[in-house]
Amino acid sequence: MTTVVAVDQNRVGTPARRYVVADVFASTPLLGNPVAVFLDSEGLSGERMQQIAREMNLSETTFVLPPEKGGYARVRIFTPVNELPFAGHPLLGTAIALADADPVDEMALETREAIIPFAFNRSADGVLSATMVQPVPQWQPYDLLDTLLLGVDVREPTLPVEVYRNGPRHVFVGVEDIAALGRIQPDLRVLATLPDVAVNCFAGSGYHWRSRMFSPAYGVAEDAATGSAAGPLAVHLARHGLIEFGRQIEIMQGVEMGRPSRMLATAFADVDSLGRERIKRVEVAGSAVVVARGSLYV
């Protein structure tokens, strides 16, 4: 029997890029949505970051850099196929990974879209949760409605179908109930023709909702937790009278994938003298747990 010993030539003189993997919007390992967080990202080009994101093959990978605008750190966010100006679950996972090593009560992370504030809560058993203030989204009717509904096989959406932008673009399709939501089998070939958008189907009532997100345009067939969509969903529901502004809702996602994720979202609004509501603040909260640590030699 011959023993083969592998010699790692790549490690000689190559920086070790430390990273952690955090399961986000969960307090138990192997649930929620994982994100890889690279803690030593100085000197990496955007092209190299994109290659690393493809290597990690998670829905998002983040890269922590020194701040430029007075924040705690600057963060770049990549899917396997492109860079995002803002995203929810990877930023929350990054913030908790950083707070896991530095017991701060709050921090601000710089993104291409905005500076995102975080406040932390630490439980007695060490689980960290965080609340982020998201960019207030802009919205409009979605103009590729027929193609969208064909792709998710929904005939009669329960609310107007609108697209929201808070960095990424999210379009929301209401379905009749949670059972119907679970039966959706998206045609990813059709959805891939929709440019620069993530498709979010949702169902529920009161302050308890379920969601599924499909985004072949962003390299993600289905996502276990989409924090950047949670805030806009709260806005969407409040704008159309299904919930009250200022009341927190629970959004469960990833159930059909075996990765249940729990997101909490709140949309706040002011009312002007004509009775019109203006969105003033959007918050999304959740837990995350660090499940792996390692080094990548690049």
Catalytic residue ranges:
60
Question: Which pair of tokens denotes residue 251?
Answer: 């959004």
**Are 168 and 87 within 8 A, CB to CB?**
yes
User: CA–CA separation, 235 vs 80, rounded Å?
Assistant: 28
Q: If you write DSSP's letter for every residue of 85-124 in order, what string do you get?
A: S--HHHHHHHHHHHHHHS--SEEEEE-SS-EEEEEEEE-T
Q: Could you give the angle at the alpha carbon of 282 between the alpha carbons of 278 and 284, nearest 5°? A: 160
Pick from 290, 211, 284, 223: nearest CA to 23: 290
Label residues 28-65 b or e (16+ Cβ within 10 Å = b): eeebbbbbbbbbbbeebeeeebbebbeebebbbbbbbb
**Are 233 and 94 within 8 A, CB to CB?**
no
